[in-house]
Every structure is written in C-alpha cells, then in structure tokens.
Amino acid sequence: MRTPRRSTAPLAFVVTAGPTREFIDPVRFLSNPSTGRMGFEVARAAASRGHRVALVAGPVSLKTPKGVARVDVVSARDMLAAVLSRLDDLGRGPVRVVFVATAAVADWRPAECAAVKLKKGAMRPVLKLVRNPDILKTVAERRAAEGAAPLLVGFAAETGDPVAEALRKCREKNLAMVVANDVTEPGAGFGTPTNRAALVRRDGSVRRLPLMSKAALARRIVRECEDLCS
C-alpha cells in the first residue's frame, strides 16, 4: 500500500512513548502498564511520511521503527531532560517542530530512593511521594518563553469522560490537540493492538473515531498534525 503524499513541508517530530519507572530502591519501582506501542506507531507513521523523528522511549521491549532516532530513558525526569534536549536541537533549524506526548509518565515519585534493597522489616507502611514535573506543561512554558513553541499534542488515557479531560488539558497546557480514550472500553486499553479515540482540538472541536488499529490511528494523528501545521 502506497503512503499518501503529505500536504505540508517536512516536519520534525519529537515523540514520547511507554511508561516511566520511579524507583523505591534498586529492585522496586512505581510504574504503569503502558507498552509504548502507540508512541512507536506514531513515530513510525511520521517517519514513513518523510518527517524527521526523535523517539524518547521509557522502558519497553519494542524495536526502533525505521528512520527514527531513539533515546531510551527510565524516569520522568530523564524523559523531560531528553525531550528538552531534542527540542533544543531541532528548534535551531527552520523546520516546524511537533511534540507528541504519548508516554504514560508517572505523576509522582518516591521522595527518596534507597541505595540498597530495603528489607521487609525496614520498609515503612506509608510511602512518601513528591510530584514529578509535567513534561507537556514544562515544554509549553519554556518554549513559549523562548519564542519557539512547537505544536503540542497530548494524550488523555482516562476512565469516565476522556473528552472533558482532553478539553481541560488543551486549554490549561495550551495544546493544539489531545487524543482521548477511555481505557476501560474493550480494545482501547493498555497493551492492545487497537484503540478507540477522540481527537480533541483547542477550539473545542471533537472528532470521534471508531475502533481501529493503533497503526491506523497513528497515521491519522500524523495527518492531523500536518493539517495543524499547514
């Protein structure tokens, strides 16, 4: 199947994928079930359409898509540093930059990480947490201050009303679009080859998509990014 011709000049994509891990000690950590498949498909779709792609991946076991420059990270702070570095590199050129944040980033991390494995008797029943940086919000604020804000696309993997949460994220974080889905729906949660999503733009428009493969959804997301940049 031939790839449709894109309608815009080549873009530069920075894509995050997978979970992050926040360690309690060298063998225990807080994380989530994200496999990274959605982000890898977005990176693959963007590269297949001739865009330059940097993929910042949390701990996953997926092969790097052809034509994609991959950086592996572990924690939320690692991911933020890698994203800012890639955006700085890409922002120096004339190409429009798109940041697609598909990663399921841990909102919290342990206040302390023990240097050695904690024995059962030494562990406390209450774990003190501190908030991790909000990667999308940080990128929006820093890049806007520098006068080089990329097109920002977020994801909202929710339960209940994902569209309402997507609209909130768009407006509070100044995002161009949020891809929203209800992870409790059959075929739309973590680790599945399919997804059922709604594309929510900052202007309040909502495009509800049927159940489709993550590869097909990724191609749709990339085309939406091209449209937003045209």
Residue 3 has pLDDT above 60, yes or no: no
Specify the length of the chain in residues: 230
- Closest of 218, 207, 146 to residue 226, by C-alpha: 218
pLDDT class of 1 with cuts at 50, 70, 90? very low
Residue 94's pLDDT is 79
pLDDT of 205 reads 94
Instruction: Report the distance separating Cα 78 and Cα 15, nearest Å.
Output: 14
Q: Residues 66, 72, 78, CA angle at the centre, nearest 5°?
A: 145
**Tokens 């161009």 — which residue?**
176
Residues 6 or more apart whose CB falls under 8 angstroms from that of 201 comprise 170, 176, 177, 228
Contacts of 131 (CB under 8 A, 6+ apart): 107, 108
Q: CA 75 → CA 21, 29, 68, distances in Å?
A: 5, 10, 21
Q: In the chain, pLDDT over 90 holds for what percent of residues? A: 73
Predicted confidence (pLDDT) at residue 192 exceeds the cutoff of 70: yes
Break the chain down into helix, strand, coil percent, rounded to 5. 30, 25, 45
pLDDT of 8 reads 65
Neighbours of 104 (CB within 10 A): 23
Q: Which residue has the tokens 């000049």?
A: 9
Domain-embedded: residue 70: yes
Q: Give Cα separations from 79 to 47, 133, 229 (angstroms).
A: 21, 10, 25
Predicted confidence (pLDDT) per residue in 38-89, tens digit: 999 999 999 999 999 999 999 999 999 999 999 999 999 999 999 999 998 8
Query: What pLDDT is recorded for position 170?
Result: 92
Check residue 60 and report its DSSP letter.
-
User: Is 157 part of any domain?
Assistant: yes
Mean of per-residue pLDDT scores for the chain = 91
Is the residue at 6 inside a domain? no
The verdict on residue 92 lying in a domain is yes
Residues annotated as catalytic are: 32
- Residue 3, in any domain of the structure: no
Domains held by the chain: number: 1
* pLDDT confidence of residue 144: 66
Q: Which pLDDT belongs to residue 143?
A: 66
pLDDT at 194 over 90: yes
108: containing domain: 12-229
Element (H, E) at 212: strand 212-213
pLDDT at 6 over 60: no
Report residue 170 as tokens.
């768009």
- CA–CA gap between residue 39 and residue 17 (Å, rounded): 4
Give the pLDDT confidence of 157-191 residue by residue, as tens digits: 888 888 999 999 998 888 999 999 988 888 887 88
Q: Which CATH number goes with the domain that contains 94?
A: 3.40.50.10300
5 has pLDDT over 70:
no
Q: Any idea of the CA torsion for 175, 16, 183, 23, to the nearest 10 degrees?
A: -120
Is 159 contained in some domain?
A: yes
